[in-house]
Amino acid sequence: MAVIAVYSLKGGVGKTTLAVNLAWSAATLSARRTLVWDLDPQSASTFLLGSESKTKDAAQAIFTKDVAAAKLVRHTGIERLDLIAADTSLRGLDHLFHELDKKKRLANLIGDLAKAYERIILDCPPGLTETSEQVMRAADLIVVPVIPSPLSMRAFEEVAGHLGKRGDKAVLMPVLSMVDRRRKLHADAIVRHPDWPVLPMASVIEAMTVRRLPVGAFAGRTAGAKAFAELWQSVERKLAGKR
């Protein structure tokens, strides 16, 4: 089992889109038993995977161990792809982690699910917080979407510097997100970072919010779907290289 966190210091960089499409690729293209754990109180992954929160406080109750994580797993309707949904109770998760003072609570909860899944993908809230600290301890690979702008690049460098000081096991994988190759700023970013995977700005990706499906599930032959599939292969190679 491997844990892949999709994380960014900034919001609005395509984090949830990336998490959902990587999860679909893991379950469908690689036929791996896959779980998306939505840790963001905005619950965008939960929405995109066709689910809605049915209870008000269940998402946070996992971390106090009032509810077993396995009891909140839902099937998404996509073969081999399950979900632990987010809800608004996660707004208090940083405070809860601080109160619990359990540095590896998330890692231990993931360990309880290890026999059921080959890939667990965490859709993380933005910011350097108590939750992100838990994620960095739990993840094998942290995928960071970076839009080709100075502020987004600066945010990625801050994350890389922070992770480098910690000495955690996680490998960092930046991905250029929302790229329009016609824009000079975007083209220059590709030249500066030729080894970074590239995800295009595309209307078919934006259509996910209407379809409430990963791109590969409804537009598998498009450039957007192919970009996510290629990225997933890069993720699998990174994970293989860690072993």
**pLDDT score recorded for residue 164:** 82
**pLDDT score recorded for residue 24:** 98
- The rounded mean pLDDT for the chain is 94
Could you give the number of structural domains in the chain? Answer: 1
* pLDDT over 70 percentage in the chain: 97
In 101-139, which positions are buried (b, 16+ CB within 10 angstroms) versus exposed (e)?
Answer: eeeebbbebbeebeeebbbbbbbbbbeebbbbbbbbbbb
pTM: predicted TM-score of the whole model, two decimal places: 0.95
Domain residue limits at 60:
2-242
**pLDDT score recorded for residue 169:** 77
**pLDDT score recorded for residue 243:** 64
Q: What is the CATH number of the domain that holds 31?
A: 3.40.50.300
Q: Which residues pair with 74 in a beta bridge?
A: 83
**pLDDT score recorded for residue 55:** 59
- Spatial neighbors of 186 by CB under 8 A, at least 6 apart, are 148, 176, 179, 180
Q: In 10 A of CB 243, how many CB atoms?
A: 6
